């Protein structure tokens, strides 16, 4: 466990989320176990209880899932702006691109690549990948996500 790299991590489970909560009350643990729990804390995605996309990721909110892996989920947008309109959502809660740091570069690349692959899987070789960052740019759900739009001609500049 101590040598596990982030890429090798499993998706969050009830178990590791439980360990995260018990970690805070673990002052009596020996140092090796404490380090192991810290490792789990680092790898367990942060979630926000009142975040719509965290609820979709956790299961209770219904969504049409077209793809998922241990880092992200792709769902159909509930209010599509093109014949194909997908949202690629990281499992880790991050409000927007503005909150991304250097450690998130691999995840950001993954979201873009998965967006391309799910567009391909839906039969598209032309598509637009969009990230709205901040309300002034049209962001309405404050959990980072990549829109993938396809199936109609697109204009530039976007509105």
Q: What residues make contact with ligand 5GP under the rule CB under 6 A?
A: 52, 63, 75-79, 87, 132, 138-141
CB of 11 to ligand 5GP, least distance (A): 20
Examine the residue annotation and report whether 110 is marked as an active-site residue of this protein.
Answer: no
Q: Name the active-site residue from 43, 93, 145, 147.
A: 145
49/79 with CB nearer ligand 5GP: 79
48/77 with CB nearer Zn ion: 48
CB of 104 to ligand 5GP, least distance (A): 18
Sorted by sequence, the CB contacts under 8 Å of residue 19 that are 6+ apart come out as 37, 40, 41, 44
* x-or-dash string of contact with Zn ion, 67-86, rule CB under 5 A: --------------------
State yes or no: residue 95 binds Zn ion (CB under 5 A): no
**Tokens 């805070």 correspond to what residue?**
24
Pairing of strands 72-76, 65-68: antiparallel
**How many alpha carbons lie under 13 Å from residue 17 in its C-beta half-sphere?**
10
The residues pairing with 89 across neighbouring beta strands, listed in sequence order, are 73
Sheet holding 65-68, edge to edge: 65-68, 72-76, 84-90, 146-150, 128-130
Residues marked as catalytic:
145
Residue ranges in contact with Zn ion by CB under 5 A: 48, 51, 53-54, 93, 143
């Amino acid at each position: 466990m101590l040598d596990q790299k982030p890429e090798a991590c499993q998706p969050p489970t009830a178990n590791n989320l439980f360990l995260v909560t018990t970690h805070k009350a673990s002052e009596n643990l020996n140092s090796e176990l404490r380090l192991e729990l810290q490792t789990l804390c680092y790898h367990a995605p942060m979630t926000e209880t009142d975040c719509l996309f965290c609820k979709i990721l956790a299961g209770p909110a219904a969504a049409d899932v077209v793809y998922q892996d241990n880092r992200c989920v792709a769902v159909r947008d509930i209010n599509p702006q093109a014949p194909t309109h997908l949202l690629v959502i990281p499992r880790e809660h991050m409000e927007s691109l503005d909150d991304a740091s250097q450690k998130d570069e691999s995840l950001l690349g993954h979201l873009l690549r998965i967006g391309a692959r799910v567009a391909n899987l839906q039969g598209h070789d032309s598509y637009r990948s969009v990230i709205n960052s901040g309300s002034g740019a049209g962001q309405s759900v404050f959990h980072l996500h990549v829109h993938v739009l396809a199936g109609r001609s697109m204009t530039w500049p976007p509105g």
